[in-house]
Each structure stands twice: as structure tokens, then as C-alpha cells.
Amino acid sequence: MKKGIQELSEVTVRFAGDSGDGMQLTGTQFSNTSALAGNDISTLPDYPAEIRAPVGTTYGVSGFQLHFSDSDIHTPGDAPDILVAMNPASLKVNLNSLKPGATIIVNINSFDEKNFKLCHYDSNPLEDGTLSGYHVVEVPLSKLTAEALKDSGLKPKEVARSKNFFALGLMYWLYSRPIKPTIKWIETKFKNNQKIINANKAALEAGYYFGDNTTLFSTRYKVNPAKLPKGTYRSIEGNEALALGLVAASVKTGLPLFLGSYPITPASSILHELSKHKRFGVRTFQAEDEIAAVTATIGAAFAGALAVTTTSGPGLALKAEAVGLGVMAELPIIIVNVQRGGPSTGLPTKTEQSDLLQAMYGRSGEAPVVIISASTPTDCYDVSLEAARIATKYMVPVLYMTDGYIANGSEPWRIPNPDDIPDMKVKFRTDPENFQPYSRNENLTRPWAIPGTPGLEHRIGGLEKENITGDVNYEPENHEYMVRLRAEKVKNVENDIPDLKVEGDPDADILMIGWGGTYGAITDAVNNVNEKGKKVAQAHFRYLNPFPKNTEEVLKKYKYIICPELNMGQLSFLIKSRYLIEIDSFTKIQGQPFKSSELEEKIKKVLGGMNNG
Amino acid sequence: MAENMTIDEVNLKPKDFSSSQDVRWCPGCGDYSILAQMQKVSPELGVKKENFVWVSGIGCASRFPYYMDTFGLHSIHGRAPTIATGIKVQNPELSVWVATGDGDTLSIGGNHFIHACRRNIGIKIILFNNRIYGLTKGQYSPTSEKGKVTNSSPYGSIDYPFEPTALAIGAGATFVARTIDREPKHLKEMIRHANSHAGTVFLEVYQNCNIFNDGTFFVLTDKETKFDKVLKLEHDKPMVFGKENNKGIILDGFTPRVVDLTNGKYSLDDLWIHDERDLHASRAYMLTQFAEFENLPTPIGVFRRIDKSTYEQDLHQQINDVIEKEGEGNLKDLLFSGNTWEVN
Ligand code: SF4
């Protein structure tokens, strides 16, 4: 049966099922295929902290949201147009977030009394009116998969595991995507198990052809390629981009990359990624704990490595004392903090921006470090390079903030030419003539003199020291001098970073400021408001300590400043106390990113108030 | 400058290892002896001066790096083995030493200590064991005996102590030895052995803190008692001790016993022959327990020394193997890898 194809400009899809249903895999495949098809994409994996939470329960639901479009997009979409619900629990969890009138594809085979009970549905939501207003498509996914695989020689349990490929195949058909890339992926991924390859391929194809043959769908859809800037692209997640940026920084500084890390969600995949890159001489050290991870990093920095440690909020807390040593010893280390919901263990797999004040102040004594942040998955690559440049140029710890949202999210990346990266070659001190470990250049940077260099033997450490000689010194004036000197050194970095840039409508009265992973949602909201003829501007901070030099000048130009953050107003706090200006702190602490509509609403409300007032 | 010379030609002297810093330990502290022997023996170790790195944590012992004119890093409490690990991984050519105390290594740094031993990372941990917290002014430490009266245990400590050598062996250390601050010759010999071992070295030095725990090793150092109380372990030799070499150790099943070698009942042939290279750790472990028993002498010397590939060797070997097989990485290829597509 030939069906019509309708063109759409953008679609938001959400796959949802049990943690064991393979939803992350399904979502990732759909994303990669969409990216290959030339769409702009943005993704939001959303999964529970438990690896295999009890099946059928709401807390075991794992979701993957994907926004794909024929134009430039910045967020994974506010509300899905279509939900694939593998079981009642995943329907229950996701129903509220759907667009009105959204399509819901349900695996009808899982809609039984047992599963209703597990997720506390009193009656069948397909029949009791819960879904009125939605376009529900009931597909016997489990049964059809079992039929397609009846000759596969697999046990029923293994057959059941392939049903996500059936769902994926069906979605490929519905959105007119090729199935080839996924077939290729299946063939490499399961190359040691021909049975599984055959089964997954069969399920995928069965899903695809089911779409063609069933009467359940009358139309197919198509999203044309986006008009992205010319270049070679790949789809990339934030943590992967961050890791590649570190490898690039290692090549460009000429320093071997050392990563000291202890596994922690959502930072672990950086460790996984870097442990693959032995061809670049990357040394990964999986430490016994967070403290060992950062202190080994300090040791490696002392001995001349591009030294990095990666963690999330609770790990950063454990590293605090060692970062203080890095400040005192003036060694170049990069501490990556992929933020998650806190405090304590908090929400390990959910995103938040609540470690900014910890990054700024979470150490004993006056211990300033440089703080920079990445704003999108692909931006993580650039910020890695920048972190390495600043750390090695200023002999200073750099705290590099990302968050779970951009770490796990992916988007198309126009692959940059590494030859265009400015020179960052590091020169160690080798001349013993007049060597002093704490002498300083015009940036107040001390020499990097690594063990193994004849004539440069010297001692450094955590005790207060005298400038230039580095000798231990407890004199009152000396301590004050050194504290101020270390602070000035960090502040000096402001002379070496770009100005804060304003985007959106430059004539606006309202400025929306942000930092980190909220960039996409803010950009969308600001663009939408401007497109509707109202005026709003935005400025996004990459550098949080020191702030760009023109920060005050920019902020003072606007009548009203809104600062959305996924915390209780930490950037607002820093800016208010530094520049003594009013900020409307707009916050959300739900472990979920902002929706651009939430920010749009906020802007409209403020605009409305201004017009009335 | 020393680039083309051999170590002998450089001809270092002990004073080349003495830094300009005033030594600030209490007069009479056992640390002085350890420092002096270390400075004496360093020139003969076959290591270029610039390749020595001393790392420490916090405590009296941890001031050590300031007094050695080598590269040094005085770090934070308990973390010296991890810092040393980072240094050694970055540059395996370096000779990396850790100066630490019983509080530093066995209390706050216990985790790092056992993991360093487990990995067999090529660092040399010298534990100055004085069985007390000195720098914080006299609290019982993880090696203080039960019942010890200190500032934090006025009614006696209720903690059982660690036996550091047992802990090291339990954690898989490939080199475990013990010596005493007042035995300079033995101390130097142990430093030489430590230097020649590739993997993790654990050398415990009994060190007298004359301020807060004076005399804790008195019977092991006093001329009147030490011959009967100390057993000097020598590889492949029977375990003999006593002023006239008149006593020996036999292994009676699994029980070590002291025997008299003068009454004709036992000869050297009956004695336990020390084998530091024994791959089974059980006998070495047994030696670590001697100090627990009044009737047995306290062993000093090398308890255990076995060869295993080191962490840094394996790490760099893996890198080299991959490079040999797949070639050195090319940044452009890496960035442009995976599923890519063109937008024109
Ligand atoms: S307190 Fe004890 S260990 Fe510390 S320096 Fe004084 S004597 Fe030595």
C-alpha cells in the first residue's frame, strides 16, 4: 500500500520503556540516523540511577528524547510530538510532558493487569479515557517481534529483547529514515554472535515493513536536511567532545595527557573514552577514590603532564583539599565537574547547575581557581582546549564545569580542523641559571620546572611560602602578600579572555544571562520572543572566574536582567555581590533542563510587567 | 650539565643532598638519623641527582623532603603515595620516594597505601613509625599499643594497632622490610635494597619520638637487650640471634619457636632458613607477627622481595603495544572518525 509523505519542519520523539528495554540504544540509533540524514538534532537521555530497576515500575522507566529539524535547533524539544511507550509505566511517566494531540505508539502486549498494578494504574488507560485527546496507535510489538523471530533459534527471553529494534524499524518507516546505518551498526556491535545479528536485523526490518503494510498509519513524515554551515559533520555527545578536546590539547601543548579519575555518574564516560586513546599516549589512571584521582593528577602535573581529573559534584567535594594544594603549589591541573542533582548522592543521573558556588568557594582558605563552563555538547571540545591553554599558561588549577544534560546529550558537530588551533606548545624551564621556583613572569606565572631537569631541584608544597624562593614562610605580611598575589594571578586571566558577547536584539531593555547547559533553552526562548516582535537580548558566560572584563558594562546597559539557572540562584548571587545590581533569578531544581517555553513565558511576563509599570 | 657523564663521574657527596633549609625536628628525634643515612647513601644509589623526587604528606616525617636537596613535594595528609604514583606514571625514569609517618600512611592515608602496594607502582614508601602523633602533640596512632595513655586517651587507648608489615604483605606488596633509626648501618643497607627494587617498596623504620613516645623501641636499641630482642633477617641464612649467636628460630609445624643453640639439642641445620624470595607470602606474614609475642625477637631486614611487573611498566607497555599495532594517533583522523556526513 503506497502512503502519502507529509513534510514536517521539526519533530520531537520520545522513546520510553523499562531500563532493560534498550531505550537509550534505540534513541541513540534514531539520533545518529537522523544526523546522517542531515537534520540538526539535539538529544536528552533521561534514565534512572538504578541499572535495572524492577520491571514495570514507574521508577524503572528509561527515556530518550530527540528533537530533529530542517533548521538550526538548540534544545531537545519542550514537548514530544510522538511517544513510543513500551509499557504502561512509561506511558504514565511521560504522558504529562507530551504535546496536546501527540501520537502515542504503545506496545499493546504489555498492557495487562500485572503491568497496570506494577505502575499503580487502577484501570486500563487505553480504555478509561486517560488518553482522550491523543492519537493512540496500538501495536502488538512483542507479538510481532516474536513472529518475525520464530525461526531465529533464540530463547523467548532473547527474542523479547529484540522488540526495541522492531519499534525502531517502525519509527524509521514513519519518518522515512533509512535502516541501513543501523544494520551496519548491528553487524559491528554483535560481530561475535551471528544469531543476535540476524535476530536484531529481522526485528528491525519487520518493524519497517509493518509500517508499510498496516492500516494503522495513513501517512508517513519527512524532515528535510537542515541548512547547516558547509563542512564535515558527525554526531557527538558532550563527554565525548570533551575527551577529544583533551586529546587535541595534549597534541597541541606537546604534553602527554594524564587522566586520574574515579568512576562517577555522569562523568565516567570521559574515562571510558580517554582510555581508548592509547595511540595518543594517553595515560588513564583509575584511582582508588576521588582524592587519589586528583592527587595523582597533581603528581603528574608536577612531573610535566597535561593533567586532568574528572568527576561530579560529590567527587568535587572530596577533591577540595587537593585542589587547594594545586592553588598553593601553583600547578596546572584541570578538574572537570560534570554536575548532577545534589546534595549528597542526590539525583545521580539527572542534570543540575548547583556546584557553581562549590567551584568558586568550596576550599579551605582563600583559594581562587579559574572556572570555565561549556554550554552545549560540541562546545565541550572547545572548552577543553581553553582549559588546557589557561592552566598551562598560568600554572593554575582550572575548574571546568559541564552538566549531565550536555554531557549525555548529542548534536551534530561540524568537525573543526585541528590545524586551526592556535599554538599552545608548553616550554618547561631548563636553565638552572638564577632559577627560583616562585619567580614570576609578567602574568605572575611561575616556571614549570619538572623533575629530571639538572640543576632545578626544588621543593614545593602546601605550606605558605615566600614569593620567588618558595621557602616556607609564616610571616604575617608574607602570608597576606601571597594570598593577594595568588588572587591577582587568577584575576589577570581576564586580560586573556574574550569579552562577554550579547546576542538577540541589541536594543532590548531585558537581558537574559546564563551559563553552562542552559544556553540552548535560553537561545530558543530569546529567538522566539524576538521573532514575535518583542525585544530581548542574551549573554552567556563561559568564564565564571574571572568574569570577562566588560561584564559590568554589559549588565549596566539593561533595565532588567533575568538569570535562569538550574539551582537556587548561584550565578545571580555571584553577580549581585560583585556588581551590586538587581537580578531576577529564575530557577528550577527538578533534575531536568529548562524548556524554552518556560523561559519564553518568563520573558513575556517581565515584558508585560514593564509595559504596565 | 651532567648529560653525558656517568653517575660515577658526577661524583656526588652527601652534602649535595642537603638543602639550605634549617632542619626543624626536635633535638634528639630519630628522624635526624634517617635523614643523615639517606643523605649518606644517596650518592651511591646510581641515580642522577635530578631524578630523585621526595614526596610526603603531613606529619613530622613529612618535613623530610624540605631537607633533601632533590625535587620534592610536601603535599597533604595521607596522599603522598598517590602523588608519587602520578609522578612515576608520568616519568618512570624518576626515582620516587615517599617519606611518611604512621598516622599519615596508616590512618588518613590507609586506602592509598594498600592500593599502592596492590598496584606494585614503582615508588618507595619509607614509613617512619614512632607509634604516636607527634606534630599534633601526642595522640595515639594506628600503631600505638592498646592501653597507651596519651593526650587523647587519658584512660588508655582502646584501639588495637595495625602491624604495618602485615598490612603491606596482605595488600600484595612485593618488597617489605623493617629497620631501626638507631641501626645506621642496617638502615643504609635497607635503603640500598629499597633502591634496587623495581615495584612498590615498603620500608618501615622504627623511629623514636623522644618528645611524645620516648623509649618505645628501647629494648630493640639498648645494648643490654637488643641482641636478644632483635632478629636480623638475612636471605638464605638460618635465623640466628643473641649476643653469641646462641639462639635460633625453628618452625615447629606452623609455630615459630626460639631454641638454644648451645645445649647440643639443636644445630644450624634445624633452623628456619629465611627466604625473602618465597612466592608464598605465608612465611613472610608469620615473621610480621613476631613482634606480637614476648618470647619471640623482633625481625628486621627484608621480609619479602619478589619480582612482578610494575604498574608503570604495564601502563607504558600497553601504550607502546597499541602504537606498534595501530600506529601513532593522528588528531585529524581521530576527529573525523565515526559516522560523518558532508553538508555542501
Ligand atoms: S614530635 Fe617526636 S617525631 Fe616529631 S620531631 Fe619531635 S621528636 Fe620527632
- Shared domain for B198 and B324, answered yes or no, is yes
- Shared domain for B156 and B187, answered yes or no, is yes
Q: Among B12, B73, B94, B337, pick the best mutation site for testing chain A contact (most A Cβ within 10 A).
A: B73
CA–CA min distance B67, chain A (Å)? 9
**Rounded distance from Cα A326 to ligand 1 centre (Å):** 28
List residues bridging with B213 in a β-sheet.
none
Rounded to whole angstroms, how far apart are CA atoms A529 and A599?
Answer: 10
Of B74, B337, B343, the CB nearest to A461: B74
> Does the CB of B242 have a partner CB in chain A at under 8 Å?
no
User: Please, which pLDDT band fits residue B2 given cuts at 50, 70 and 90?
Assistant: very low
B153 lines ligand 1 (CB under 6 A): no
- Number of structural domains in chain A: 3
Domain closes at, from A361, A389, A420? A420
CB < 8 Å from A in window 99-158 of B: 111-112, 115
b/e per residue A337-369 (b: at least 16 CB within 10 A): bbbbbbeeebbbbbbbbbbbebbbebbeeebbb
The domain of B231 spans 225-296
B23 lines ligand 1 (CB under 6 A): no
Within-domain flag for B302? no
- Shared domain for A265 and A190, answered yes or no, is no
* A277–B73 CB contact, under 8 Å: no
- Shared domain for B179 and B236, answered yes or no, is no
Residue with the bigger pLDDT between B21 and B170: it is B170
pLDDT averaged over 10-residue windows placed end to end, chain A, 613 residues: 84 95 95 94 90 88 96 94 97 96 96 96 94 95 95 91 96 96 95 94 96 89 94 96 98 98 97 98 98 98 98 98 98 98 95 98 98 98 98 98 96 96 96 97 97 97 96 96 98 98 94 98 96 96 98 97 98 98 97 96 94 64
Residue with cell 613476631: B290
Q: What is the pLDDT of residue A613?
A: 54
> Does the CB of B71 have a partner CB in chain A at under 8 Å?
yes
- Shared domain for B316 and B289, answered yes or no, is no
> Does the CB of B69 have a partner CB in chain A at under 8 Å?
yes
Residue whose CA lies nearest to ligand 1 atom number 5: B25
Within-domain flag for A461? no
Q: What is the pLDDT of residue A549?
A: 98
Exposed (0-12), middle (13-18) or buried (19+): which is B125, by Cβ within 10 Å? buried
* A298–B50 CB contact, under 8 Å: no
Contact call for residues B7 and B47 (beta carbons, < 8 A): yes
Q: What is the pLDDT of residue B344?
A: 85
User: Please, which pLDDT band fits residue B3 given cuts at 50, 70 and 90?
Assistant: very low
List residues bridging with A373 in a β-sheet.
A401
- Shared domain for A98 and A217, answered yes or no, is yes
Distances in Å between the Cα of A440 and the Cα atoms of A80, A398, A466, A474, B218 are 56, 19, 12, 21, 50
CATH of the domain at A408: 3.40.50.970
**Rounded distance from Cα A462 to ligand 1 centre (Å):** 20
Return the percentage of chain B with pLDDT > 90, whole number. Answer: 93
List residues bridging with B232 in a β-sheet.
B300
* A295–B335 CB contact, under 8 Å: no
Q: Among B51, B70, B82, B332, pick the best mutation site for testing chain A contact (most A Cβ within 10 A).
A: B82
Q: What is the pLDDT of residue B339?
A: 86
Exposed (0-12), middle (13-18) or buried (19+): which is B100, by Cβ within 10 Å? buried
- Shared domain for A249 and A370, answered yes or no, is yes
Q: What is the pLDDT of residue A30?
A: 96
* B74–A459 CB contact, under 8 Å: yes
pLDDT per position as a tens digit, A38-67? 999 999 998 888 887 889 999 999 999 999
Of A233, A302, A415, the CB nearest to B87: A302
- Helix, strand, or coil (residue B21): coil
Q: What is the pLDDT of residue B292?
A: 86
Residue partners of A550: CB distance under 8 A and separation at least 6: A499, A500
- Shared domain for B211 and B239, answered yes or no, is no
> What are the φ and ψ backbone dihedral angles of A119, each rounded to 5 degrees?
-110, 15
- Give pTM, 2 decimals: 0.94
- Shared domain for B119 and B197, answered yes or no, is yes
- Shared domain for B107 and B31, answered yes or no, is yes
CATH of the domain at B325: 3.40.50.970
- CA–centroid distance for A458 within its chain: 41
Nearest CA in chain A to B314: A283
> What are the φ and ψ backbone dihedral angles of B53, each rounded to 5 degrees?
-130, 125
Give the type of residue at A378: T
Residue B7 has pLDDT above 80, yes or no: no
Give the type of residue at A595: K
Residue with cell 609455630: B255
Residue B255 has pLDDT above 80, yes or no: yes
- Shared domain for B205 and B149, answered yes or no, is yes
Within-domain flag for A453? no
Q: Please confirm whether the linkage preceding A546 is cis (ω < 30° from 0).
A: yes
- Shared domain for B292 and B331, answered yes or no, is no
- Shared domain for B139 and B284, answered yes or no, is no
**Secondary element (H or E) of residue A341:** none
* ipTM value: 0.96
The domain of A99 spans 4-223
Contact call for residues A511 and A602 (beta carbons, < 8 A): no
Ligand 1 pocket: which of B32, B60, B143 to mutate (most atoms within 8 A of CB):
B60
**Rounded distance from Cα B60 to ligand 1 centre (Å):** 6
Nearest to A333 by CA among A366, A369, A286: A369
- Shared domain for B212 and B247, answered yes or no, is no
CB < 8 Å from A in window 160-199 of B: none
Rounded to whole angstroms, how far apart are CA atoms B250 and B198?
Answer: 32
